Amino acid sequence: MQAARTPELLSDADVPSSDTAFQRLSTLPPGPDREALREETICAWLPMAHRLAARFRNRGESMDDLRQVAAMGLVKAVDRYDPARGKAFEAFAVPTVTGELKRHFRDHTWDVHVPRRVQDLRNRVRTARRDLAQRLGGRTPTCAEIAAEAGLREEDVLLGLEALESYSALSLDAEPAGDGGGATLADRLGSCDHALDVAVDREAVKPGLRTLPERERTILYLRYFLDMTQVSIAERLGISQMHVSRLISRSCERVRAGALKEAV
C-alpha cells in the first residue's frame, strides 16, 4: 500500500478494473505479491464502502464505527469475489457491504433483544409510517393506513410499533416525561418483599403448630418471632436453658414431620 495515497481521497477513476486486479488476485499464489495486491485493491475500493456507510448515519452509531463495519464487509467482498462468474465487482460488493452494515445494527445496537422477524417488521413499519406522514402533510397515520401501505396485518403493525420502542432503553436514572418532581424511573420500581419467600412455609407449618402444647408454642413464638435467646426464654418460663433447647428441637421436628406428611 502506498502511504502517499489516502483511500478517502481517491476518485472513481482510480478504482482498479475488476478485469485486471481481480483476475490477477485469482491467479496469484499465496505470498507477498498477492497480499500487496489484495491490500491495494481493498484501499482503492474503500471510498465506495464509506459512501455506503454514510447511508446509515444518524441512527445512533458513530461514522467511525460504521466505516469500520463497512470496511470489514469490503474485505469479505474482496476475498469472496470470483471474477469467473462474470459479475462486476461493484455489483457483488454493494450488497455484501450493505448486508454487513445491516447485520451490525441488527446484532449490536439493540438495547433489548428482539427476534429478527420483529426487527424486519419494525423496519417496514417505520418506512411506511415515514412515507405516509410525508404524503399526509405531517398527520400521524393510523394503524390501518400503515398496514395497507406496508402490506401487513394490523397486529403485525402493532408489533412493529412496539419494537420501535425497543431499539434503545432509558436509564433508570432518567426522569419520566412530564414529571417535574425530580423522581427517577428507579424510584417508581417496586422492591422484592422477602417475606414472600417464606409465605408458603408459614402456611405449611400452621397445622403442626396448632397441635403443639401451649408451652411449646409459646417457646417457638418467643424464639422465632420475638427473637429472644434461649437463656431469656428459660428465665421467663422458669426452666433451664437446656430444657428450652430440647423443647425447641422436639417441637421443630414435630412441626416439620407434620408439614412433610401434608405435602405428600
pLDDT per residue as tens, the chain (264 positions): 333 333 333 344 444 455 677 878 878 788 888 898 889 888 889 999 999 998 887 766 788 888 999 999 999 998 888 888 878 888 888 999 998 888 887 666 555 566 778 778 878 888 888 888 888 887 888 889 999 988 989 888 888 887 776 655 555 666 666 555 566 666 666 667 776 777 777 788 888 888 899 999 999 999 988 999 999 999 999 999 999 999 999 999 988 888 887 766
Return the pLDDT at 1: 37
Same domain, 224 and 237: yes
- How far is the C-alpha of 197 from the C-alpha of 179, rounded, in Å? 34
The answer as to whether 220 is a domain residue is yes
Same domain, 13 and 93: yes
Domains contained in the chain, number? 3
Model confidence, pTM: 0.42
Same domain, 32 and 72: yes
Same domain, 16 and 56: yes
Structural domain span for residue 232: 196-259
CATH for 150: 1.10.10.10
**Pair 220, 212: CB distance under 8 Å:** yes
- How far is the C-alpha of 15 from the C-alpha of 117, rounded, in Å? 38
